[in-house]
Chains A and B, each alone.
Chain A
Amino acid sequence: MILKAENLTFAYKGGNNVFEDVSLTVENGDVLAILGPNGAGKTTLLKSILGILPVKSGSVTLDNVDVRKIPEKELFKRISYVPQAKNTTASYSVLDTVLIGLAAELSVFKAPGEKEIARAKEVLDELNIGHLIDKRCNRISGGELQMVLIARALISDPEILILDEPESNLDFKNQLIVLDTLTRLSKRGIACIFNTHYPSHALQRANKAAILSNHHVLFGETEKTVTEERIEEAFGVKAVVDELEFEDKKIKSVIPIELINR
């Protein structure tokens, strides 16, 4: 599988370009982090890649086929979207929420049956949240809800997972749970594209990164992309990229030092 965005330019009706000439490529097992300050257009870029926002120019192809030419039902079986946990209406039970992820697969007249429920249980167990199955989504924590939404995306067995700030609004532990999940999924061959506010998360988890700044994107291997200079340019923050060694692990981290007046 290869997902390619080429020269994407997006503008809201009657407005200036949000971003121009964005190109990036994602293959099986890749984790791509999209970084950028608030309002830079990260979510807009994600939705453009997903094809739910129409771009002004450029194209997105999946295995060399324009995604606009792939029937939606087929496309969204291969690509799954995980919205921010706070943006979703949540009074369904966890099981019902996860089953909604099968909407692209089931015909209009069909509802999920025993087979689909078994599959939902499997996915929930895989993500270690099997115990939540009968809980209502508005009675669980933000971190748990984010995991439930990932389960909803995974039930259709997608090749690509697109996540909108999956770890923002989560506490320390839940951030780790979500990020570990992304790492695990990528090892299974699923490509993950996620927006993040944290350069450290990009360095620690993503093999590819895209930094949005001044309407343009810099895309490439994370280590070459998320550098001190780029962070300063995009965020206006002087930062140090450091590497910690813990047991046999090397962990990269970005430490903000001071604001740069520009």
Chain B
Amino acid sequence: MTSNITVKRRVFRAVILIITPIIISFLALAIGRIEIPVGDVFNILIGRTEGIANVSVMTVKIFRLPRIILALLVGAGLSVAGCAFQGLFANPLATPDTLGVASGASFGAALAILLGAGPVTIQVCSFLMGIAAVVLTVLCGRTGGRNMTMIILSGIMIGSLFSALISFVKFVADSESQLPAITYWLMGSLASTDSKSLLIGAPPILIGIIILFIIRWRMNLLPLTEDEIKSSGTNVLLLRGITVLSATMITASAVSMCGQVGWVGLLVPHMVRMRVGANFKDVVACSISVGAVFLVIVDTVARSLTAAEIPISILTAIIGAPFFIYLMRRRGGFVG
């Protein structure tokens, strides 16, 4: 927030941040291997389906709508979780996976696939294992709750432990059916979403986003020294605890629904900071919108570009990396 930004400009920005994801989602509903006129999409959404081909109705309602809602949630969620971890560790390179949550969740899913579980079990197992990984990280790195470097180190250890366990699961998996399923799952895809998986997975993401959105101004305290946080009358452990819990819930649930979607949590907060500065009040709000839009666009490209769908983690990096480098060079460096 700078002093010369007028109230008018703030309102204008808020409107843009709310409207853009809606417009992009609406267009994404129309785009795909089956093209559906925008007018038809609108009619399908408001329930006027007479005269519209059944295939179009099914495509929009059963396939594209849940998938786009998932993309919105995961994009917004991972971006906010990235902001939270970057603040928490006062480190611009922190990602939602710094505490090992994504590795843990991936292991949970791989294990469930190995054991022949159904989609719901895979999702739940993945979510719980993601949370378990973070609990383990915090327990191992806790030194009276003071040293964040210990927590990061512990996160790296737990992350690599779970990565090794994933490799082990792959090693013992049946190479004809289970191994490809695990590998494909790990690359990340939003394709398997339906309303049932959304019903289980959306609440943790939504709750996490809402909590972090509410405390976004106070998140400005996160990168400060412990003495500074304490002398601001804030309970350090509580602030850090709420942040870790919310960001972990978001990430674990996102990974449990669509695998590891890398890059978003790193890329989006940095893009936003280059534009609006380092104040979390603005960064969190903008990251929600930009992250949501980013992932909807990437996923729409992923499912429309070729007949065989490209895994989303490949595309986030292919689209993200050059765009990020372009932004970084144009704006003359990132805002830490």
Contact = CB atoms under 8 A, between A and B. Distances in A.
Nearest to A77: B233
B217 A83 contact: no
Contact of B3 (A83, A95, A110): A95
A18 B233 CA distance: 26
Contacts of A73: 233
Interface in A53-108: 72-77, 79-81, 83, 87-89, 91-93, 95-96, 100-101, 103-104, 106, 108
Contact of B4 (A72, A111, A134): A134
Interface string A115-126: 001000100000
Interface string B225-263: 101101111110000000000000000000000000000
A93 B234 contact: no
A242 B49 CA distance: 95
Contact of B227 (A81, A133, A138): A81
B304 interface: no
Contacts of B224: 88-89, 100
Contacts of B3: 95, 117, 121, 133-134
Interface residues of B, number: 29
A73 B217 CA distance: 17
A103 B202 CA distance: 32
A110 B230 CA distance: 18
Contacts of A256: none
Residues of A contacting B: mostly = mixed
A95 B228 contact: no
Nearest to B2: A134
Given A88-B224, A96-B1, A112-B217, A103 B279 contact: no
B215 interface: yes
B233 A92 contact: no
Contact of A72 (B223, B228, B233, B335): B233
A103 to B, nearest CB: 4
B231 A52 contact: yes
Contacts of A246: none
Nearest to B225: A87
A72 B221 contact: no
B218 A103 contact: yes
A47 B277 CA distance: 32
B136 interface: no
B336 interface: yes
A72 B279 contact: no
A149 to B, nearest CB: 9
Contacts of B61: none
Central interface residue in A81, A87, A96, A133, by most chain B CB within 10 Å = A96
- Choose among B232, B279, B336 the residue with the greatest number of A CB atoms under 10 Å from its CB: B232
B221 A103 contact: yes
A104 B228 CA distance: 12
Interface of A: 47, 50, 52, 72-77, 79-81, 83, 87-89, 91-93, 95-96, 100-101, 103-104, 106, 108-112, 117, 121, 133-134, 136, 138
17 contacts: A52-B227, A72-B233, A72-B235, A81-B227, A88-B224, A88-B228, A89-B90, A89-B224, A91-B278, A91-B335, A93-B277, A104-B234, A108-B215, A111-B216, A111-B217, A136-B277, A136-B335
Given A77-B233, A106-B217, A111-B281, 10 more contacts: A50-B231, A72-B234, A89-B224, A93-B277, A93-B279, A96-B279, A108-B214, A117-B1, A133-B2, A136-B277
Interface of B: 1-4, 90, 214-218, 220-221, 223-225, 227-228, 230-235, 277-279, 281, 335-336
